[in-house]
């Protein structure tokens, strides 16, 4: 089991440098020296971040290389959805600004607008699922 709570998991990737380390490991499975070189962190920053990621259950080190755990892969996918939502922030604000009643016509119009504005399938699926409630 990872750290005490999901809040600890989020805390482990909550700053830009930790997130950079986490994403670099997800994309390249580097060894220690190349990870530190790629992220351009000081020795202390590097060890603090990797320790926190290991402790939270997001990464492991084996045969000198870092890799995501199964739990880390799920969190990485969730982080990508959050990143995509942030990229689409203004489109999402526009969708929020639409006055929608619960009638069938309004729901169809909302679905059409979401389908037009949003390209990311995960965000689109989430928005469309919410509009059906």
Q: Kindly report, residue by residue over 93-120, the tens digit of the pLDDT.
A: 988 887 666 666 677 888 888 889 999 9
| Secondary structure of residue 59 in the 3-state scheme | strand
Can you give the pTM of this predicted structure? 0.81
54: region left, alpha or beta (phi > 0 left; psi from -120 to 50 alpha): alpha
Q: Report the percent of the chain where pLDDT is more than 90.
A: 56
Q: What is the pLDDT of residue 99?
A: 65
What is the phi/psi pair of residue 99, to 5°? -80, 120
Q: For 67, which DSSP code?
A: E
Fold of 6-79: Arc Repressor Mutant, subunit A (1.10.10)
Residue-range domain boundaries for the chain: 6-79, 88-131
pLDDT of residue 65: 93
Helix, strand or coil, per DSSP, at residue 95: helix
Angle at 5 between CA 120 and CA 16, to 5 degrees: 50
88: nearest Cα among 133, 124, 112, 125 = 124
pLDDT at 76: 96
């Amino acid at each position: 089991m990872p750290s005490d709570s999901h809040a600890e998991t989020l805390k482990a990737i909550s700053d830009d440098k930790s997130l950079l380390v986490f994403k670099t490991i997800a994309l390249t499975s580097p060894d220690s020296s190349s990870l530190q070189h790629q992220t351009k962190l000081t020795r202390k920053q590097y060890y603090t971040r990797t320790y926190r990621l290991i402790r939270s259950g997001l990464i492991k080190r084996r045969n000198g290389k870092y890799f995501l755990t199964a739990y880390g892969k799920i969190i990485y996918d969730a982080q990508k959805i959050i990143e995509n939502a942030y990229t689409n922030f203004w489109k999402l604000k526009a969708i929020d600004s639409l006055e929608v009643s619960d009638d069938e016509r309004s729901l169809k119009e909302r679905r059409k607008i979401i389908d037009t504005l949003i390209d990311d399938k995960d965000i689109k699926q989430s928005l469309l699922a919410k509009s059906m409630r």
